[in-house]
Amino acid sequence: MRDHNLGVVLRGIADGEGVSRAEVAAATGLTKATVSSLVDELARHELIVEAGPAGNSVGRPGQALRLNPDGPVGVGVEINVDYLACCVLDLSGRPRHQAVSLADNRDRPVAEVLAEAAGLVESALDGAKAAGLSASGVVAAVPGLVRTAEGLLASAPNLGWTQVAVVDDLSRPGWPRVSVENEANLAALGELWFGEPTRTDFIHVSGEIGIGAGVIVGGELFRGRNGFAGSSVT
């Protein structure tokens, strides 16, 4: 329950940049004491910062709460048919590092492609460390059917890949946790988190060399019975 409430409070701060503890409590329905305790915990983990008095408070102003742009960052690496790309994002959604490598990955051995992708991630992690940033995780985006719990790319016909253990083959000692997800699902989540805030039910269609879609229902990624909802192997 506490983990859930931490997520609720963090989302409230992200959606209402510069809100006070009292405003978060009012928006979430949690008590002020609970919110204050959760905010302190989020601050200890450097996820949020206090940024001066909140400007819209009545009486004594509370402290404005914002996501910490110098807190933990996420690393994304995309493995696609004709390119590899890597990006580091801070909590505000600002890119802190970007790199793209153009190549026809259909004609290359899987191990060679994943080794190059790992090199991009390694450079990104080194850059984040040099900037004083700590990476909390690495997510690989791939164009195909993904069994996320197994870290497995089941099928990506446009790459000619089947049954590739992306998480195991991409991970390196000393890295944060690596996960893998369908690229259209990740794009849909990006639209959910950084797009129109009132949009909670939609389908994001991804059309590059293949066509796929990410389905968002009720503000959550909809995977379907087998975990492949929206995915395409064409």
* Complete domains list, the chain, with CATH: 2-67 (1.10.10.10), 69-234 (3.30.420.40)
How far is 125 from 110, CA to CA, in rounded Å?
22
- Calculate the CA dihedral of residues 3, 11, 89, 196 and round it to 10 degrees: 140
- Can you read off the two tokens belonging to residue 209? 């060399």
Secondary structure of residue 169 in the 3-state scheme: helix
pLDDT tens per residue, the chain (234 residues)? 888 899 889 988 888 778 899 999 998 899 999 999 999 999 999 999 988 777 655 556 678 999 999 999 999 999 999 999 999 999 988 999 999 999 999 989 999 999 999 999 999 999 999 999 999 999 999 999 999 999 999 999 999 999 999 999 999 999 999 999 999 999 999 888 887 777 889 888 887 777 788 889 998 888 876 666 656 544
Helices (H) and strands (E) in the chain, counts: 6, 13
Q: Which amino acid is at 139?
A: V
> 25: burial class by Cβ within 10 Å (0-12, 13-18, 19+)?
buried
DSSP track, 82-117 = SEEEEEEE-TTS-EEEEEEEE--GGGS-HHHHHHHH
